[in-house]
Amino acid sequence: MSKTNQIYIAVIGAGGVGRHFLTQCSHLLPRYPDTSLVLISRSNRSLRVPSFNHTISLTTWEQDLATSDSPAISPSEVLDFLSSAPGKCVVVDNTSNQDVAASYPAFLKKGISIVTPNKKAFSSDLGLWQSILEASDRGNAQGGLIYHESSVGAGLPIISTLKDLIDTGDEILKIEGVFSGTMSFLFNNFAPVEGRGGKWSDEVIKAKNAGYTEPDPRDDLNGADVARKLVILARIVGLQLESINSFPVQSLIPKELEQCESGDKFLEKLPAFDDEMAKVKAEAEGKGKVVRFVGSIDVASKQVKVGLEEFEKGHPIAGLKGSDNIISFYTKRYGSNPLIIQGAGAGGEVTAMGVTADLIKVLQRIS
């Protein structure tokens, strides 16, 4: 029979971040013997236990899922399945699916906790954000816990640090930084501190070939990913932003190429616009500065923006390497020297690390 103190874990999304997460769980969950992995679902199939006194093997899950003839299941079906569990449950959503995100309040109201890197749950409709807070333990004593560290900065402790600052009574004045590993890689190579750098189109192609961009690089160059992260942080500090359309977001996609039929066609035509970006770089260099793609939140003025900014070469943002992110928290407590978090802000393995760390926090709280 199932033990009443058992915790049941369901994983939605098993490719990319999800695969890395399950690999990390194979090291984690043996330390938590009162946990059972009872469901893995991906876009085309699912794997679930026949009863709650069974658990999915973390050694053979990939093969077992590949040979499963069970179709993918909807968020409502996951909810129905977990609602019959004889103990506490956690959903780990490793997708970027809007429908899954929209189901969070229903899970939380049932006391089911959620761990996720899914930005859409916290950066889309303000009403969904408010419903999530109201349904969670913060607004409902019976609600589930929700942790989403990896929705901003992959495995970097950005959200937890911000919440710690607020919860301990500090006043957040400004948040500024490079929030995109893709944009960091691009500008660190296009406009390095030591000068020169490659052509803009060459650097975009290099970034794509290295796996730093989405299959269609326009999904990175439009600035929406950075904007989503700023919406999340702004809402945490109390700014009620309706959506990513509530503030200026600079797109680096030439208007003439917005309607290209594919990412490959876009890259094919991008060299014709290299001179425009070369001019931006030259203007900064003429002032002894470098250009970077940043996001900022000025809390007092409620000003949020995403786009190109010039920085002195000695500035921490200017000196980034590779695809690192850097986020600076300017607060009343820290004065003129901001609290800075820097490190890898993209990649499946580090993103999964943030998800796994959040799962540990949930397990420690509900065990």
Residues belonging to the active site:
229
Measure the CA–CA gap between 159 and 165, rounded to whole angstroms: 10
Whether 104 contacts 114, CB under 8 Å: yes
Biggest CA–CA distance in the chain, Å, is: 73
